[in-house]
Amino acid sequence: MSKQAAGGSHRVAPVHTDPEDVSVLTALSALADPVRIQLIRELAVSADWTRSCGSFDVPVGKAALSHHFSVLRGAGLVEQRDQGPKRVNRLRREEFDARFPGLLDLLLRSDGAD
């Protein structure tokens, strides 16, 4: 049977929030974190669906990482898909830009020192 992009690899399919349903406060809160900023920046320079959750160079454990991705999903910033044992990611650039124009650009334009 075809199994790629099937519905539900791990336990349940990841819960996503449409950027249109995200409040400004939620969006800003999601972005106001050093680890999540780094995740977004790394995602931004990677092709869609090429980065698994564990492939990011962040100074936190797996549990915290999973939590951060949950926050990013809830803010409509990231989409996830199960691919075999891995969960691959995609930055929802266009959709998020439509809801919050310029916000992502702001984050990605700044130097890494920020």
Partner DNA sequence: AGGACTGTAAGATGCTCATCGAACACTAAG
Partner DNA sequence: CTTAGTGTTCGATGAGCATCTTACAGTCCT
Binding footprint of its own copies on the chain (CB under 8 A): 23-25, 28-29, 31-34, 37, 100-103, 105-107, 110, 113-114
Does position 17 bind DNA by CB under 7 A?
A: no
When the beta carbons of 37 and 88 are compared against its own copies, the nearer one is 37
The single-letter DSSP state of residue 114 is: -
Residue 71 to residue 45: CA distance in whole angstroms: 20
Nearer to DNA, 25 or 101 (CB): 25
8 Å CB contact between 75 and 4: no
Task: Output 9 or 17, the one with its CB closest to DNA.
Answer: 9
Least Å distance, CB 37 to DNA, is 11
The span from the CA of 33 to the CA of 109, in Å, is 17
Residues 22 to 41 in contact with DNA, rule: CB under 7 A: 29, 33-35
Among its own copies, DNA, none, residue 102 binds (CB under 5-8 Å by kind): its own copies
Q: Is the CB of 34 or the CB of 54 nearer to its own copies?
A: 34
Beta bridge partners of 51: 89
Report the distance separating Cα 86 and Cα 81, nearest Å: 9
β-strand pairing of 51-52 with 78-83: unpaired
